[in-house]
A = this chain, B = another copy of it.
Amino acid sequence: MTEPGRFFEDFTVGQTIRHATPRTVTTGDQALYMALYGSRFALQSSDTFAHAIGYPRSPLDDLLVFNLVFGKTVPDISLNAVANLGYASTRFVKAAFPGDTLTAASEVIGLKETASGKTGIVYVSSRGFNQDGDTVLEFIRWVMVKKRDEAAPAPGPVVPELPPEVTPDQLGRAVLPLYMHGWEGAQSGSRRRWHDYQPGERIDHVDGATVEESEHMMATRLYQNPARVHFNQHAEAQGRFGRRIVYGGHVISLARALSFNGLANAFHISAINAGRHVAPLFAGGTVYAWSEVVAAAELPNRADIGALRLVTTATVDRVCEDFPGRDGDGFAEGVILELDYWVLLPR
């Protein structure tokens, strides 16, 4: 008897689902993350840099944590998903370190049958925990899930209110007070700090990264995310696109790594307000990215760090020197990702 995954009828509002496979994350996982994305942010690369600014050691990359926790939710939430519709309110609330063991649970916070009667939208609030039971990460996502039986009655719709952004007073919780005399620009790769960026600035991250099948599959397996569309060419050859689809979290991690060029001191993603996978990515495509600073915010009681709200847009096979993005009701040709998030920088 195999695990078929949940269908729309299997969810009820208020239900809490504890997800399988706890995972001890190690320096081995960090090394793979480095090899897959080439990230160069100093804090996640160096224990000595981390010590110098007040961390006990180099923390895990934020998106490694996100992708691991997300991966755990897949077998229970989205194995029968037709579409991942969105994310909101992703907050990184506690740093995670090599040796920590991550687990995950989700609460169903909304359900709404779609007009066709064949599917329904499931809203969940998911959390990742460390071995002490502390929340390290939380996010809301909503997915369109198949019904097992189209004739089954659906519950009355419950649609949660989704905040458009994580407000600045909620940011920075994963970051202990830092010793800013320890932050060396020669080590981090840039002398530009928080106050050197202004809303409206646009940054072309210049470089492009071509994605190979083995890379996105290794990444997605590292995250123990078993979503079938990423791994099975034999089945996907008969599917909608004729080929494997790259996991969306791989695109986000690529865009973040590319953003080092221009945002080298953006040492921590504190929150993701919203993420939208505009178009699928396939192996062989080359990913580029650019970012716009849309807001800057001070954090309560923090003289050491400040926040920038960024919208990073990733494209495939299209350079970003002309900043392609929203275009009328849609997006410019080549855009695959729009990510609205808060990063922290030293002041």
Chain A residues proximal to chain B, CB less than 8 Å: 1-3, 18-24, 26-32, 34-42, 45-49, 58, 75, 99, 101, 103, 131, 186-190, 192, 201, 203-210, 212-215, 217-222, 224, 226, 228, 231-235, 244, 261-262, 264, 284-286, 288, 317
Q: Known contacts A29-B28, A35-B221, A218-B36: does B209 contact A231 (CB below 8 Å)?
A: yes
Contact between chains at B186 and A210 (CB < 8 Å):
no
CB pair B217–A232 under 8 Å, yes or no, is no
Distance of A15 from chain B, by nearest CB (Å): 13
Give CA–CA (A131, B187) in the complex, Å. Answer: 13
A214→B47 CA distance, assembly (Å) = 28
Q: How far is the CA of A210 from the CA of B228 in the complex (A)?
A: 11
Q: Can you show 10 pairs from A to B with CB atoms below 8 A apart?
A: A1-B262, A21-B46, A21-B189, A34-B222, A47-B131, A208-B228, A212-B212, A215-B218, A226-B261, A234-B317
Beta-carbon nearest neighbor of A103 in chain B: B187
Chain B residues with CB under 8 Å of A101's CB are 46-49
Write the chain B residue with the least CB distance to A221: B38
Contact partners of A224 in chain B: CB under 8 A: 34, 38-40, 45
Q: Measured between alpha carbons, how far is A213 from B208 in the docked complex, in Å?
A: 15
A46–B24 contact, CB under 8 A? yes
Do A20 and B215 form a contact, CB below 8 Å, given A1-B262, A28-B32, A226-B40? no
Once bound together, how far apart are the Cα atoms of A32 and B288, in whole Å? 26
Among residues of B, the one whose C-beta sits closest to the C-beta of A257 is B221
| Given A27-B27, A28-B29, A28-B30: A189 and B3 interface contact (C-beta under 8 Å) | yes
- Taking the closest CB of chain B, its distance from the CB of A316, in whole angstroms, is 8
A28 to B33, CA, bound (A): 10
Given contacts A21-B40, A207-B228, A212-B217, 10 further A-B contacts (CB under 8 A): A20-B190, A21-B188, A24-B45, A27-B27, A31-B222, A47-B99, A48-B101, A210-B217, A210-B232, A213-B214
Contact A186 B233 (CB under 8 A): no
- Decide: B21 and A45 in contact? CB cutoff 8 A: yes
Given contacts A35-B221, A42-B20, A226-B38, is CB(A284)–CB(B215) below 8 Å? no
- Chain B nearest CB from A105 CB (Å) reads 9
Contact with A187, one of B22, B37, B190 (Cβ below 8 angstroms): B22
A2 proximity list for chain B (CB < 8 A): 203-206, 261-262
Q: Given A207-B226, A209-B231, A212-B217: A190 and B28 within 8 A (CB)? A: no
Min Cβ gap A219→B in Å is 7
| Residue of A38, A215, A220 most packed against chain B (CB within 10 A) | A38
The 4 A-B residue pairs whose C-beta atoms are closest, nearest first, are A28-B31, A38-B221, A20-B189, A234-B286
Inter-chain contacts of A220 with B (CB < 8 A): 38
